[in-house]
Chains A and B, each alone.
Chain A
């Protein structure tokens, strides 16, 4: 029972790291970026290539798995995404899904279509018993990393000058600009951090979720569910939603295996019927 809860939390945390960048771009910047999973895939491949070709230790690859997608995100934001902020959502969807297909084909061509495998260090393998619960070490590691990230993100958004500027820029870009806030720099930074977080999620998830060129398509639906259920105006919304979905998914598959695949979709429908704006968002 508690093991199931633990697995659910670990899975949810992973979903959160993967999806929180999307919550930021979709919720705060009001941009529909379906290509979010492509950045996660980039992070995963950075880790896989560094570990398998160059023998870099797993932990050292993680900062790079954040940095490389962040830089890619920054470059794309400055060159491509920027042009689309003012366009309709349909244009944004078409543009970003196009990016996904290009990313899938590019990775397929350069890396091959097979699953990429990484070997996590031995001290993260296996499981231990804590207070009578069987706990996987790697999953505990994920929970720890993600927990730190959640606190840090929440702190930055609510307690720092950058956070208040970002919220101001989102609420009303024109007024924010009038007050001397450099909105485009703030958006670019936010986008880069969101992409970097996705990359980190992809790297952490490679061991559990697998990694192949179709990754962005396979997980797009999960990201979108997290963001729609959580609502898009804060970090806490998607965080609680991720945990809820992770636990519901794992528990559902454990207790009712035959219906397990439908649990998260049912949950999504129920939440959206009761609170169409998401769990924690203000009604618009």
Chain B
């Protein structure tokens, strides 16, 4: 009996080997998508995975005569797991491209692997400016925080705000946002007071009280999107909205995924970012509708559009190289431009970072739902940090 099971097991293994041999012969191009699918940042993972799958469903799974296979891995938002998964995907699965990367440390961890193995790394979410400098194989389709922040400072200065308090979570992107805003706003003659909040901070009340006492014209805020709702509630609870302090910031605080559940406390917040589900274009209307249909009514946010465009970039790159990965693929991606649901975008050939329009938006109620309604556009914004370095 035991012998028979053993035999059949061996037989099954052999059959599987043979099968995988056939699959190899058909020339598959594998894309490793590493995302936080569980843990506190799972909403990022969900959005990007949904967008990537939607793209493949719309555009088919064959590019340049080769079959595209998407392998999704969950890194739980922990950098060492990301690195291990990247290594497994590169060595065992022989992926042509890796993509995803929900947070800055998660994007930085596999960078040395990308360089060594010459595997392009498409960053679909993480937003610290320096990421693309970590490896010549990193290309980004999300945004950088300074890219979204500097236009906010310009807008604030143009609209007569003189004194602004900043409140950011005390970690990489938060400090990036604080520095970018402070530098740009003081250069225009504004006055800034900086406050940093610990990342694990259950109660904003002391910080908000400090803001209330300082009586600035506006409060610039950056907190990771999950905490945004809590922050908004406490901002209104403390009556800061009524005392005439405007709430401004990069769009993370009014994330489309959560905005509608925040309720009226979010109304009137002014943010700058590269994507709103309300963006008025034919491409975006089609994208939002298809995304909602495929995902049980979930609204796409800026993470989803990063994932969608990331897939587009990989597809178009592979078309150019005829399915070849490595250095050729990165070169093909450089300088590529297309019309995304967020508007016209391109990949800067020097920095491999995305160049895109930044929109100034205000939270309004539209057809019964809350949306970031765009009212001004700053066209073709490059990452200001790297632009300043190259000058």
Please list the residues of chain A having a beta carbon within 8 angstroms of any beta carbon in chain B. Answer: 3-4, 7, 11, 105, 108, 112-115, 117, 119, 125-127, 134, 136, 138, 207-210, 212, 214, 218-219, 222, 249-254, 257-258, 260-261
Q: Mark B136-174, 1 if CB is under 8 A from A, else 0.
A: 000000000000000000000000000000000010000
CB pair B206–A114 under 8 Å, yes or no, is no
Chain B residues within 8 Å of A261, by CB: 170, 198, 201
CB of B262 closer than 8 Å to a CB of A: yes
CB of B229 closer than 8 Å to a CB of A: yes
Can you list the 3 inter-chain pairs with the closest CB atoms, starting with the nearest? A113-B42, A253-B206, A261-B198
Please pick, from A4, A119, A207, A218, the residue contacting B206 in the complex, using a CB distance under 8 A. Answer: A4
The residue on A at minimum CB distance from B38 is: A108
Please list the residues of chain B having a beta carbon within 8 angstroms of any beta carbon in chain A. Answer: 38-40, 42-43, 170, 195-196, 198, 200-203, 205-207, 209-210, 226-227, 229-230, 233-234, 236-239, 257-258, 261-263
Listed A/B pairs (15) with beta-carbon separation below 8 Å:
A4-B209, A105-B38, A108-B38, A115-B258, A117-B262, A127-B238, A136-B237, A208-B203, A218-B202, A222-B202, A249-B203, A252-B206, A254-B207, A257-B196, A258-B196
The residue on B at minimum CB distance from A52 is: B261
Query: Chain A: interface secondary structure?
Result: helix
A112–B205 CA distance with the chains assembled, in angstroms: 28
Please pick, from B196, B229, B263, the residue contacting A115 in the complex, using a CB distance under 8 A. Answer: B229
* Nearest CB on A from B340, distance (A): 25
CB pair A212–B40 under 8 Å, yes or no, is yes
A36–B196 CA distance with the chains assembled, in angstroms: 30
Report which residue of B39, B195, B207, B237 has the largest number of chain A beta carbons within 10 angstroms of its beta carbon. B237
Given contacts A7-B209, A117-B258, A260-B198, 8 further A-B contacts (CB under 8 A): A115-B227, A117-B229, A117-B262, A125-B236, A127-B239, A218-B200, A222-B202, A254-B206
A11–B196 CA distance with the chains assembled, in angstroms: 20
A71–B239 CA distance with the chains assembled, in angstroms: 39
CB pair B238–A136 under 8 Å, yes or no, is yes
Instruction: Take A117-B229, A214-B39 as given contacts and tell me if A219 and B209 are in contact as well, using a CB distance cutoff of 8 Å.
Output: no
A200–B23 CA distance with the chains assembled, in angstroms: 56
Chain A residues within 8 Å of B262, by CB: 117
A119–B229 CA distance with the chains assembled, in angstroms: 11
Chain A residues within 8 Å of B236, by CB: 125
Chain B residues within 8 Å of A254, by CB: 206-207, 209-210
Please pick, from B43, B207, B237, the residue contacting A253 in the complex, using a CB distance under 8 A. Answer: B207
Chain A residues within 8 Å of B238, by CB: 127, 134, 136
Please pick, from A7, A209, A257, the residue contacting B195 in the complex, using a CB distance under 8 A. Answer: A257
Instruction: Take A108-B42, A113-B43, A117-B263 as given contacts and tell me if A7 and B205 are in contact as well, using a CB distance cutoff of 8 Å.
Output: yes
